[in-house]
């Protein structure tokens, strides 16, 4: 395992021990003497606590969440984070769909990185079928390439969306342009820009398109340019640093006890990445680092994400070189659909196709949990089979749910204006959190 790379934030960070949750740190606000006097007098004035609703319909409450704030002036005394506005009954829906029919549903969990969800779900079912080690290597490589492209899109979205909410609209356009290149690649691969449904149980739907490697390399160069531009724009920007640094604090111990994973946990200085610590698929074939930052705040989460973009692109480039030729789906007629030539011209192929579509893949009774590194942390699928073609129970462990549970702790004591960057930095995705 490669040594984890620790990033130091460009400005001295706030230490956990000295953090005063009741307000900003001393010395942080540089007020003029007259303003200082005004503030002191204002502090003596009697104030009244007010209840303010943020969301569910609020431009910065992406994913439709509602936060009921109890505020005293600008200061947040208490917050009630209410999720569930995007609840679609994903888990219940799964119980009446064949395993293959569930892929379109998982696309809509974390809808900024559907490829990662596809792979995570496929792995759970493959575990139940006991075919995890029979997946063709080429399919595993394609899954890694598609998954890492999705991760780049996911992190970019998180970064440019929260930067635009801080007023940096230029970064929004740069980030969007970069993501557009990623989406072009994913569209090239799967035919869809957002809801790919590209993975299959036992592999992936079809092989890489012609010239995919060259296209990807060319696109990644452009993406790197955009990322560099974004970094140049914000990382030495006073407004950005003031809004990000020391805001949205959560200690490493708290983050662990909340069950937080992914960039938010790595932003607390905890070196944990499932790709590295519990390598699945072919992740152990690549040389990449797990960036961590120990600021425990918005800035640390930003730094982790921006560095992970580079690491993901590194993985993609290695995978494009290493990818072996061969089939892209398991050669097992009771799992993978037969070729169309067989379906239309032989009764054997017809029956196999027919039964796999109508009755679904017959998964032996049992239960399995797959855990993969999703865009926001550990994305888990717990599947129970009763031996039929559909899951008896399918539970998704969405990484956002755990991060969102800690949101209250992060915003209490901050100012109203901090809610938006804090919420943006944890990248809560409603489709995944509410399922």
* Complex with other proteins: residue 327 or 333, whichever CB lies closer: 333
Three-state SS for 262?
Answer: coil
Quote the least distance from Cβ 277 to other proteins, whole Å: 38
Question: Quick one: which of 20, 334, 340, 364 contacts other proteins (CB under 8 A)?
Answer: 334
Rule CB under 8 A: say whether 389 interacts with other proteins: yes
Indicate the pairing of strand 66-72 with strand 49-54.
antiparallel
Rule CB under 8 A: say whether 390 interacts with other proteins: yes
64's torsion region: left (phi>0), alpha (psi -120 to 50) or beta? left
* Complex with other proteins: residue 155 or 390, whichever CB lies closer: 390
Q: Distance between CA 327 and CA 357 in Å, rounded?
A: 21
Find the part of the chain contacting other proteins (CB under 8 A) among 18-26, 261-269, 315-323, 388-396. 388-396
- Sequence-ordered alpha helix ranges (H) in 130-281: 137-165, 169-190, 212-234, 238-244, 252-258, 263-266, 274-277
Rule CB under 8 A: say whether 73 interacts with other proteins: no
Nearest of 361, 422, 357 to residue 158 by alpha carbon? 422
Question: Quick one: which of 202, 269, 349, 377 contacts other proteins (CB under 8 A)?
Answer: 349
Cα of 165 vs its chain's centroid, Å: 19
Are 141 and 283 in contact by the 8 Å Cβ rule? The answer is: no
Burial category of 121 from C-beta neighbours within 10 Å (exposed 0-12, middle 13-18, buried 19 and up): buried
* Complex with other proteins: residue 349 or 413, whichever CB lies closer: 349
Rule CB under 8 A: say whether 131 interacts with other proteins: no
Rule CB under 8 A: say whether 350 interacts with other proteins: yes
Helix (H) or strand (E) holding 371: strand 366-374
Three-state SS for 203?
Answer: strand
Find the part of the chain contacting other proteins (CB under 8 A) among 3-11, 17-25, 161-169, 342-350. 342-350
Quote the least distance from Cβ 107 to other proteins, whole Å: 23
Question: Quick one: which of 101, 362, 405, 415 contacts other proteins (CB under 8 A)?
Answer: 362
Are 293 and 6 in contact by the 8 Å Cβ rule? The answer is: yes
Rule CB under 8 A: say whether 202 interacts with other proteins: no
Rule CB under 8 A: say whether 348 interacts with other proteins: yes
Question: Quick one: which of 215, 342, 412, 415 contacts other proteins (CB under 8 A)?
Answer: 342
Quote the least distance from Cβ 102 to other proteins, whole Å: 15
Q: How is residue 208 annotated by DSSP? A: P
* Complex with other proteins: residue 43 or 358, whichever CB lies closer: 358
Find the part of the chain contacting other proteins (CB under 8 A) among 248-256, 285-293, 330-338, 375-383. 330-338
Rg of the chain in Å (alpha carbons): 23
Find the part of the chain contacting other proteins (CB under 8 A) among 148-156, 216-224, 316-324, 339-347. 339-347
Rule CB under 8 A: say whether 347 interacts with other proteins: yes
Nearest of 307, 302, 303 to residue 290 by alpha carbon? 307
* Complex with other proteins: residue 178 or 330, whichever CB lies closer: 330
In the chain, the N- to C-terminal Cα span, in Å, equals: 34
Site residues (vs other proteins, CB under 8 A): 332-334, 338, 342, 344-352, 354-355, 358-359, 362, 388-390
């Amino acid at each position: 395992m490669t040594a984890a790379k620790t990033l130091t934030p460009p400005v001295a960070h706030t230490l956990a021990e000295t953090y005063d949750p009741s307000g900003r740190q001393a010395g942080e606000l540089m007020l003029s003497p007259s303003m200082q006097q005004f503030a002191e007098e204002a502090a003596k004035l009697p104030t009244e606590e007010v209840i303010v609703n943020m969301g569910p319909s609020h431009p910065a409450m992406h994913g439709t969440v509602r936060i009921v704030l109890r505020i005293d002036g600008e200061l947040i005394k208490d917050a009630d984070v209410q999720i569930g506005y995007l609840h679609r009954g994903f888990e219940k829906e799964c119980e009446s769909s064949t395993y293959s029919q569930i892929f379109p549903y998982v696309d809509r969990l974390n809808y900024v990185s559907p490829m990662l969800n596809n792979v995570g779900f496929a792995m759970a079912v493959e575990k139940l079928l006991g075919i995890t080690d029979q997946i063709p290597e080429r399919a595993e490589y394609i899954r890694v390439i598609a998954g890492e492209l999705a991760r780049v899109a996911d992190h970019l979205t998180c970064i440019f969306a929260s930067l635009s909410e801080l007023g940096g609209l230029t970064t929004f356009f740069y980030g969007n342009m970069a993501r557009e290149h990623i989406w072009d690649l994913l569209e090239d691969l799967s035919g869809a820009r957002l809801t790919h449904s590209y993975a299959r149980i036992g592999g992936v739907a079809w092989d890489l398109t012609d010239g995919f490697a060259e296209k990807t390399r060319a696109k990644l160069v452009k993406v790197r340019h955009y990322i560099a531009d974004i970094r140049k724009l914000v990382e030495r920007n006073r407004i950005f640093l003031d809004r990000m640094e020391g805001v949205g604090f959560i200690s490493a111990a708290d983050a662990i006890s909340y069950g937080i994973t992914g960039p938010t946990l790595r932003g607390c200085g905890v070196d944990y990445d499932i790709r590295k610590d519990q390598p699945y698929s072919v992740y152990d074939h690549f040389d990449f680092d797990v960036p961590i930052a120990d600021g425990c705040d918005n800035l640390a989460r930003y730094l982790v994400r921006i560095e992970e973009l580079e690491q993901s692109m590194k993985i993609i480039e290695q995978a494009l070189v290493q990818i072996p030729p061969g089939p892209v789906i398991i050669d097992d007629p009771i799992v993978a659909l037969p070729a169309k030539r067989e379906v239309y011209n032989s009764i054997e192929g017809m029956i196999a196709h027919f039964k796999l579509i109508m009755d679904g893949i017959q998964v032996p009774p049992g239960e399995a949990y797959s855990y993969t590194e999703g865009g926001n942390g550990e994305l888990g699928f717990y599947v129970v089979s009763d031996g039929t073609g559909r899951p008896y129970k399918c539970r998704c462990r969405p990484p956002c749910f755990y991060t969102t549970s800690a949101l209250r702790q992060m915003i209490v004591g901050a100012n109203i204006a901090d809610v938006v960057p804090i919420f943006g930095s944890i990248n809560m995705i409603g489709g995944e959190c509410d399922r």
